[in-house]
Structure formats: structure tokens, C-alpha cells
Amino acid sequence: MARRAFLGALAGAVLGAVAARAAYAAFTRRPPVGDAETWARTNHRGEPITLLEGPAFVAGAGAAAAALPGLPGRVRAAALLAVAGSGGLGAYDDLYGATSSKGFKGHLSALAKGEVTSGAVKLLGIGVTGLAAAAVTARSPLDVPVDAALIAGSANLANLFDLRPGRAVKVGLLTGASLLATGLRRDDPVPAALAAIPMGAAAALLPEDLGERAMLGDAGANALGALLGLAASVTLGRPGRLAVLGTVVALTAASEKVSFTKVIAGNPVLNRIDMLGRRPVEQPPANR
């Protein structure tokens, strides 16, 4: 049995979960910025919801990365850069962003007109964050661009799934599970722990998400994706990282043309996973 990796993963998951729940409880009493109304939004049903799940994830995962024993200093520094940078920029977009421009195409079009959107600032900032984290952990200088794109691209992609209750968390858990399995198979506690930290923090907040009381928002989704991208960059060899990066780029490009929600709803297997633990979708009354 991969004892070292299992213990590292268990410690990372538990620390992430405990810290995320504690942060959520603290932030619901006293939000990190403004008051409860500052973080209040309306979800896809038109019902009130809070974005405080996002800062709770950032704080929980960051605290776990800082406190977990056994992480090499460079890996710990990269994890803190990824979660704080992407989470902070996501929170900025959550609080001050406009919805008039969406996606890469929307933000680039706005820039072409001389308008610097909050989304463009976030995308650029997450790119810099990914580059900084990659520079700390990359195996060689040639790996830095690939790892940076993987971290930043994963941060952006996770946010594209945060459109329905629990969806981004489920995608994160499935992705993290595959990375965790690789770490366990190698009995390497570092990649196992890196995958387990965001999984534990996200799983601890999943009941709030599925219950439609809270959502990750840009802060939580960007941080979740960035940490998983970092875990992939540390865990996988170059062919594996290139394959994952290609998938991230393809899905991001597809999101400009198709609706993930429609695709998922049209696939019985994906729809069943997507609806697991969620309230049923309300059907419009039949015409009489």
C-alpha cells in the first residue's frame, strides 16, 4: 500500500476541509470585505445566494497549503501563489466586475475598443500568477510556459463550469481524483497532497453549493482550477501535461461557441452526474 502518499493525501484533505468550513463559518458572520449584501447575488433560479463560498475555499485551501507538513518549500510557495493570486483576482471580478463582456473574445473585443474590463485584468493577472507558480516548480526552463499555461488555463476553465450548483466542485473532484490516484500509485506524498488539498476544501463546501445557499464564484472557481493545474504540473510528465493542456484549451475554445449547460443536459450520463444531490429542475407548466 502507498502509505506515505496516502497519509499525505489524508492530511491535506482533512486540513483543507476543516479550514474551509471554519473560514465559511467566520465569513458568514463577518465577510472579508464589506457586508453580507456585498457578496449577495441571484442564482439561475432567481433566488438569493452568497459568493462567500469562494473566499472560504481560498482561505481554507491556502491555510492547508501553508500548514501541511512535508511539502517542499518551492511547492508550498507555488501553491500559495496559485490560490492567493487566482482567488484574489477572482474576488476582484466578483465584487467589481461588469457582465457586459464575457469570455476571451468579449474581453479582447473590449480591449480593442480601449476598454479595460475587470475580466481582462483578471485574465492577465491569473496568467502572471500561473507564470510565477510555474517558475518556482518547473523541472526545467522549457517546462515553464507549459506549466504556466496549464495553471492559468485550468483556473479559467474551472470558472466556466461554475454555472450550476455543485458543477465546478464535481468537475474539480473528478479531476483531482485522477491526479490523486497517480500520486498514490507512485507513493509520492507531494502530488497526492497537492491534489487532496483542493479536493478536501471543495468537498467540505459542497453541501452549501448543492443546497443553493452559496457558490464558488470567480474567487473559488479560479483558485480551485489553479491548484488542480498546479497539481497536474507537478504530478504528470511532459506528455501528460501537454495532453491535459490541449484538453483545457479545446474546452475553453468550445465554450465560446457552445453552452456547457446544454451539452451536459443533452447527455444522460453527464446530466445524471450534474444533477446528483441537486434540487430537481423546475419544469414550466404545460399549456392547457
Task: State percent of the chain over pLDDT 70.
Answer: 91
For residue 68, give every residue at least 6 positions away whose Cβ sits within 8 Å of its Cβ, in sequence order, or none. Answer: 8, 11, 12, 15, 76, 193, 197
- Give the H/E segment covering residue 42: strand 40-42
* Residue showing cell 457582465: 99
Residue 288: what pLDDT? Answer: 39
* Contact in structure between 117 and 101 (CB atoms under 8 Å): yes
With a cut of 70, which residues of the chain have pLDDT below it?
A: 1, 98-116, 282-288
* Residue showing cell 488555463: 153
Question: How many whole angstroms separate alpha carbon 208 and alpha carbon 220?
Answer: 13
Rg (CA), the chain: 18
Indicate the pTM of the whole model.
0.92
Residue 122: what pLDDT? Answer: 87
Looking only at the bridges linking them, the beta strands covering 48-50 and 40-42 are: antiparallel
Question: How many whole angstroms separate alpha carbon 221 and alpha carbon 227?
Answer: 10
Residue 208: what pLDDT? Answer: 96
As given in the structure block, the three cell numbers for residue 240 are: 501528460
pLDDT in tens, 253-267: 999 899 999 999 999
Residue 270: what pLDDT? Answer: 96
